[in-house]
Chain A
Amino acid sequence: MRLTCPHCGERDLREFAARGSAVVLSRPSAGASAEEWADYLHIRDNPAGEARDLFYHTPCGLWIEVTRSTITHAVIAARPVREAKP
């Protein structure tokens, strides 16, 4: 698998660490309900199709949000989490 780091360019998967769904970018605000926290931390969709996942490009320290297809494994987009909209 190859991913494109927006800073470094296309790289082999071994340079990245995976962290699962990009849902974790949408952190509930202080005072959110227990249900909101449970959804945020534990409840995950398992889509057949487009998914947004987080990867860390270990050599450069950039967190990226990768949009990819869980069916074809095609990588559709990759952008820094700084620019990702929750």
Chain B
Amino acid sequence: MRLEGRGQIDRDHPVRFTFDGRVIDAFRGDTVASALMANDIRVVGRSFKYHRPRGLYSAGSDEPNALVTTGRGRDALPNVRATMQEVWEGLDVTSQNRWPSLTRDVGAINDLFSPFLAAGFYYKTFMWPRAFWERVYEPLIRRAAGLGRLSGEAARDASEKAFAHCDVLVIGSGPAGLMAALTAARAGADVILAEEDSHMGGRLLSETDTIGGLSGPQWVGSVLNELTALPNVRVMERTTVTGAYDQGTYGALERVSLHRPPGRAPRECFWRIAATRTILAAGALERGVAFPGNDRPGVMLASALRTYVNRWGVAPGQSAVVWGNTDTAHRTARDLASAGIHVAAVIDARADATTTGDWPFYPGGEVLSTQGRLGLKGLQVRHGRREFTVWTDCLAVSGGWNPSVHLASHIGSRPVWRDDIQAFVAGPEPVPGMDVAGAANGIFDTAGCLADGLRAGNVAVQAIGLETHSPDLPDAEATPYAITPLWEVEGKGRAWLDLQNDVTTKDVRLAAQENFRSPEHMKRYTTQGMSPDQGKGSNVTALAVLAAATGATVAATGTTTYRPPFVPVTISAMGAGAKGKGFAPERFTPAHAAAVELGAPMIEAGLWYRPSFFPLSGERVWRESCDREVRMVRESVGVTEVSTLGKIEVMGPDAGTFLDVVYTNTMSSLAVGKVRYGLMLREDGHVMDDGTVARLSEDRFVLTTTTAAAAEVMRHLDFVAQGLRPGLNLRTVSVTEQWAQFAVAGPRSEALVRSILDDPAAGVLPFMGCTEASISGTGVRVFRISFSGEKGYEIAIPSDRGEALWRLLLAHARMLGGGPYGLEALNVLRIEKGFLTHAEMNGRSTAFDLGLQGMMSAKKDFIGKALAARPGLLGETREQLVGLRPVGAARMLTAGAYLFGEGAAATREAQQGFTTSVAWSPTLDTFLGLAFLVNGRARHGERLRMVDHMRNVEALVEVGPPCAFDPDGGRMRG
């Protein structure tokens, strides 16, 4: 129900939203939780395992029960905590884990079977038959249990990621956080103040105390006014710091626009914050008490009830009982009474406690059980030897406070137990650069928190080398904290610990009994703390129950490991911007648009896009285009873009010596104006990459790499130059982007090249020669090299004129009966010649395997030399590169198929090799394949079975040399 005249909601702005289709009236400033309470909706969710009706338990991100789904379809967000979701006009909220409705849920039948569903039940029951694991048991269990469901539709990529840097990151904006931020800000530090809530202030928004004569919200407002006016402060509300990482890195999730109707704004933003110093002022989380029937809707944390009453002006009922073990209970009773709610009883676990209010008071008493079906109706109370029933709608319970040490424990530090406050606190500097202040540091009075925030602020200021300018501390509440342990009340009926995962005290005791006695084992056995809330409200209580069951102290029992994230983080926030075009950069070549213009389908090659073929009208399938392009290159002339090849210049007096280290063959002896094919190995003796090396001048070489290995080769060259041969005087630089490069191949290639060069004579180059020349006045580099087996050139021109040169080359090629060819034809041409790509240089193959052992110089050391010669990398046991042709009735070959002896069974054990590349050769009118075959070079002429189990293709093949066309290379040299 709504309480008149209380709360910080904006009563001039009504907001309507729906909950399970029912229209709910709320006000701006409400959360879904406060609005449901205002509308007397008590059951807000069904529990995970037993489908128990559950009500609001907390008022923050630790809420275990009120998980709801917002939105529909692709915009649906499951497991949203109703306590964190602000209302907006038209918000669509649905409850979870119930059918057909929250109040009449068929799944609740599970509850009747609860005696059989204890911890470990699934493991013990659904063991066999094994075949049922995936097909029967899992779907069954998944349907019955669970929280929110995913829509199954791809989410919109509607979030963003961002980076921030600061001197001081303050986490939490209660009294300690605000004072710390103010202290650091006044000293001139760059401050980020991150607050999970929609509003700054922490508990100050929920309590009725005054600070420096102002109400909590007023004082918060005055501090915020100062902070937001400072240029060195960034105030981030709705931002949960989710994880602490090394060297002052923090992850934080900002709910950017989830509190508004969907629009174009990002929904969430995932921040990476790098902070020199951090002040963890995340406050403390109140914990409940495990007693029979403590999950009844209407039982809630005392601090949460005060928040609902004081901040939102709502109450769960007409009367309430308050039960606790600190002065929190009395504070709650006072606030309730002043709001006009009948205080039916105050029960204080401390036998020596006194009270000032006019209500039934039971020092040393306890609650034994609860009554009611879908909501609390009454309590069984024991006081002294007397047991009696108190009729009430609501029980506000407080078992003490757990400092929020989560972030302090994310990189290895373990919290330490303090008997005086019956809670775990962080150790000293638990995270390098982090200080813990206020309630998170075990200080529970407002004055103490303010002072501790000031202290932490000054520590941070000094650590970053600034002068301190301490603000004055305002007067504030300073009640000493006195607590008596109150963990559980044993009795008939289930006493719940983890409300989200339906874990009871009995489950924890069963774990201990079955020898799962360490907290980590107990956690896995019972699932305590493994739900979306990660046991925020229940873990410490569960540890106390475990300690009692094992006869140890809580201090000795210790905690489980705290890990990020502090709250659930949507995958769509972590992966924001990484779908579609944001997944990886798209690299387009200089002639990209011109190739697209010709209708060429583009194929991804690493990050690059390359044309696969250039269809002519009338060609229906790619093979027709590809075959035509292959014939064109073999018969006249073809042009293709090879700008994607890596190009690296190596310069300096020691450039040649350096290249001798990284290539297997000798490069220092290469003459100026000449090109040499080169092979690079990894140090383990396997092939890294191949390419050409051209010597443009005495101290300038230009290397090409394959498209795929360009970045790896650059990194490798840098490593060798800096780490292995630092004494050599040379410089390397990638020039891939500077030069657009085009291959011109075919019997008429020389005619074409000569027709476009300013000085046609420059086109008369010997095979493996190179020169600088010009085209229409632009300087170009011409290389006489071939990847097609035909007479061929590659022409490099500065990229800005790449498209223009492409158009010029095509125009001239067409005059000679030629035209463009794509990646498919390029691949066929090289397979006909037995030339290599990374299908053959697959990371496992050696120069020996590829038949290139002759390229390994015996006269010098080079990377990979020693290991390439080791036993096992040479000899007849190796799979060696061979060529294949079909010789049986089946004429098709496939890549990735396995090779077997002609009559042998196609089994793994009988496998003798595999195909790496195949193509239809229009030149030779047959399929051709390249393959690795055990001792292959000695088996030319042999017949084998090729079996592709995946595609169900089989063929009889004959082994031959890798090169199937023009083996002497006469055409290429010609």
Binding site for B on A (CB under 8 A): 1-3, 12, 17, 19, 24-25, 27-30, 32, 34, 37, 41, 54, 56, 61-63, 72-75, 80-82, 84
Q: From the candidates A3, A32, A81, name the one contacting B723 in the complex (CB within 8 A).
A: A81
- Of the listed residues B719, B723, B861, B870, the one surrounded by the most CB atoms of chain A closer than 10 A to its CB is B723
Within 8 A of A (CB), among B720-739: 722-724, 726
Counting CB contacts under 8 A, is B411 at the interface? yes
Q: Given the known A-B contacts A12-B272, A56-B715, are A2 and B249 also in contact in the complex, defined by CB atoms under 8 Å?
A: yes
Known contacts A27-B724, A56-B718, A82-B722, then 15 further A-B pairs from the complex at CB < 8 Å, ordered by chain A residue: A1-B245, A1-B247, A2-B274, A12-B249, A17-B715, A28-B866, A32-B866, A41-B683, A41-B684, A41-B867, A61-B714, A62-B722, A75-B247, A82-B723, A82-B726
| A49 smallest CB distance to B (angstroms) | 14
B724: nearest chain-A partner, CB-CB: A27
- Of A12, A29, A56, the residue contacting B274 (CB under 8 A) is A12
Q: How far is the CB of A65 from chain B (nearest CB, A)?
A: 8
Q: A1-B245, A1-B247, A12-B274 are contacts. A81–B722 as well, Cβ < 8 Å?
A: yes
Q: Which of B272-288 contact A (CB under 8 A)?
A: 272, 274
**Considering the chains assembled together, what is the distance between the CA atoms of A53 and B519 in angstroms?**
35
Would you give the shortest CB distance from A25 to chain B, in whole angstroms? Answer: 5
Interface residue B248 (Cβ < 8 Å from any Cβ of A)? yes
> Which residues of chain A have C-beta atoms less than 8 A from B432's C-beta?
72, 74
Q: Does B865 contact A (CB under 8 A)?
A: yes
Contact B861 A30 (CB under 8 A): yes
Q: Which residue in B246, B719, B865 is a CB contact (below 8 Å) of A56?
A: B719
Q: Nearest chain-A residue to B412 (Cβ)?
A: A72
Known: A12-B272, A41-B684. A1 touches B723 (CB 8 A): no
Q: Which residue of A lies closest to B860 (CB)?
A: A30
Contact between chains at B245 and A37 (CB < 8 Å): no
How many residues of B sit at the interface, in one of the four size bands? 20 to 34
A37 and B246 contacting across the interface, CB-CB below 8 Å: no
Do A73 and B867 touch (CB < 8 A)? Answer: no
Q: How far is the CB of B337 from chain A (nearest CB, A)?
A: 52
Question: Are A30 and B723 interface neighbours, CB within 8 A?
Answer: no
User: Which B positions have Cβ atoms within 8 angstroms of A?
Assistant: 163, 245-249, 272, 274, 411-412, 432, 683-684, 714-715, 718-719, 722-724, 726, 861, 865-867, 870
- The closest CB in chain B to the CB of A1 belongs to B246
Contact B718 A2 (CB under 8 A): no
- From B683, B722, B861, A80 is in contact (CB under 8 Å) with B722
Please, how many angstroms separate the alpha-carbon atoms of A75 and B247 in the complex?
8
For A37, the chain B residues whose CB sits under 8 A away are 866-867, 870
Asked, given contacts A30-B865, A32-B866, A34-B870, whether A63 binds B684 with beta carbons under 8 Å apart, the answer is no
Once the chains are docked, how many angstroms separate the CA of A85 from the CA of B249? 31
5 smallest CB-CB distances across A and B, nearest first, come from A2-B247, A30-B861, A81-B723, A1-B246, A73-B246
A1 and B249 alpha carbons, distance in the complex (Å): 6
User: Which interface residue of B247, B432, B726 has the most chain A CB atoms within 10 A?
Assistant: B247
CB distance from A43 to the nearest CB of B (A): 13
9 A-B pairs within 8 Å (CB atoms) are namely A3-B247, A12-B249, A30-B865, A41-B867, A62-B718, A63-B722, A73-B246, A74-B432, A81-B726
Check if B411 sits within 8 Å of A73, measured CB to CB: yes
Residues of chain A within 8 A of B411, CB atoms compared: 73
Residue of B nearest to A11 (CB): B274
| Cross-chain contact A25 with B723 (CB below 8 angstroms) | yes
A24-B723, A74-B432, A82-B726 given; A30·B866 CB < 8 A: yes
Cα distance A29–B391 in the bound complex, in angstroms: 88
Name the residue of chain B whose CB is nearest to the CB of A56: B715
B-chain residues with CB within 8 Å of residue A81 when the two chains form the complex: 719, 722-723, 726
Roughly how many angstroms separate A74 CA and B247 CA in the complex, as a whole number? 7
* Distance between Cα atoms of A2 and B276 in the complex (Å): 11
CA gap between A27 and B627 in the complex, in Å: 49
State in angstroms the CA–CA spacing of A52 and B683 once bound together: 20
In whole Å, how far is B866's beta carbon from the nearest beta carbon of chain A? 5
Residues from chain B with a CB closer than 8 A to the CB of A61 are: 714, 718
State the Cβ distance, A73 to closest chain B Cβ, in Å: 5
**Please, how many angstroms separate the alpha-carbon atoms of A29 and B432 in the complex?**
42
Q: Determine the chain B residues whose CB is within 8 A of the CB of A75 once the complex forms.
A: 247
B865 / chain A contacts, CB cutoff of 8 Å: 30
Contacts of B245 in A (CB 8 A): 1
**Cβ contacts under 8 Å, B412 to chain A:** 72
Q: How far is the CB of B316 from chain A (nearest CB, A)?
A: 46
- Which chain A residues lie closer than 8 Å to B247 at the CB level? 1-3, 73, 75
For the complex, give the distance between the alpha carbons of A32 and B870 in Å. Answer: 12
Query: Smallest CB–CB gap between A69 and chain B, Å?
Result: 11
- On chain B, the residues within 8 Å of A82 by CB distance are 722-723, 726
Contact between chains at A25 and B272 (CB < 8 Å) = no
Q: Residue on A with the closest CB to B723?
A: A81
Q: Which residue of A lies closest to B274 (CB)?
A: A2
Cβ distance B713 to chain A, nearest Cβ, rounded Å: 13
CB distance from B69 to the nearest CB of A (A): 33
CA distance A20 to B905 in the complex (A): 43
Report B-chain residues with C-beta under 8 Å of the C-beta of A73. Answer: 246-247, 411
A80 and B722 CA atoms in complex are apart in Å by 8
Closest CB in chain A relative to B719 CB, distance in Å: 6
Q: Which residues of A contact B714 (CB under 8 A)?
A: 61
A63 near B866 with CB under 8 A, answer: no
B residues within 8 A CB of A1?
Answer: 245-247, 249
Using CB atoms, name the residue of chain A closest to B870. A34
Closest to A74 in B: B432
Closest residue on chain A to residue B411 by CB atoms: A73
Which A residues lie within 8 Å of B722 (CB)?
62-63, 80-82
Q: How far is the CB of B647 from chain A (nearest CB, A)?
A: 16
* Nearest neighbor of A75 in chain B, beta-carbon distance: B247
Which residue of chain A lies nearest to B871 when distances are taken between CB atoms in the complex?
A: A34
Assembly CA distance A62 to B726 (angstroms)? 12
**Complex Cα distance A32/B718, Å?**
24
Measured CA separation A2–B433 after assembly (Å) = 13
Distance to closest chain A CB from B881 (angstroms): 25
Identify the interface centre among A19, A73, A80: most chain B CB within 10 Å of its CB. A73
- Complex CA–CA separation, A30 to B862 (angstroms): 9
Q: Given the complex, which residues of B lie within 8 Å of A72, measured CB to CB?
A: 412, 432
B53 to chain A, nearest CB (A): 46
CA distance A84 to B722 in the complex (A): 10
Interchain CB contact under 8 A, B719 and A63: yes
Chain A hits for B723, CB < 8 A: 24-25, 54, 63, 81-82, 84
Kindly list chain B residues whose C-beta atoms are within 8 Å of the C-beta of A28.
866
Question: Quick check: A2 and B246 within 8 Å, CB to CB?
Answer: yes
Residues of B within 8 A of A12 (CB): 163, 249, 272, 274
Provide the bound-state CA to CA distance between A74 and B715, in Å.
Answer: 26
B169 smallest CB distance to A (angstroms): 14
Q: How far is the CA of A2 from the CA of B274 in the complex (A)?
A: 9
Inside 8 A of B866's CB, which chain A residues have their CB? 28, 30, 32, 37
Shortest distance between the CB of A51 and any CB in chain B (Å): 14
Q: Enumerate chain A residues within 8 angstroms of B274, measured Cβ to Cβ.
A: 2, 12
A25 nearest in chain B by CB position: B723
Chain A residue contacts of B861, Cβ below 8 A: 29-30
Give Cα A30–Cα B714 distance, bound, in whole angstroms.
24
Query: How many angstroms between the C-alpha atoms of A56 and B715 in the bound complex?
Result: 8
Cα–Cα, bound, A17→B866 (Å): 27
Residues in B whose Cβ lies below 8 Å from that of A41: 683-684, 867
Task: Name the residue on A nearest B733 (C-beta).
Answer: A61
CB contacts (< 8 Å) of A19 on chain B: these are 719
Residues of B with C-beta under 8 A to A62: 718, 722
B870 surroundings in chain A (CB, below 8 A) = 34, 37
Give the CA-CA distance A80 to B411 in the complex, in Å.
28
A12 and B867 CA atoms in complex are apart in Å by 36
Q: How far is the CB of B955 from chain A (nearest CB, A)?
A: 40
Q: How far is the CA of A19 from the CA of B718 in the complex (A)?
A: 13
Give the Cβ gap from B415 to chain A, nearest Cβ, in Å: 18
* Distance of A32 Cα from B412 Cα, bound (Å): 42
CA distance A80 to B724 in the complex (A): 12
CA–CA, A12 and B249, complex, Å? 9
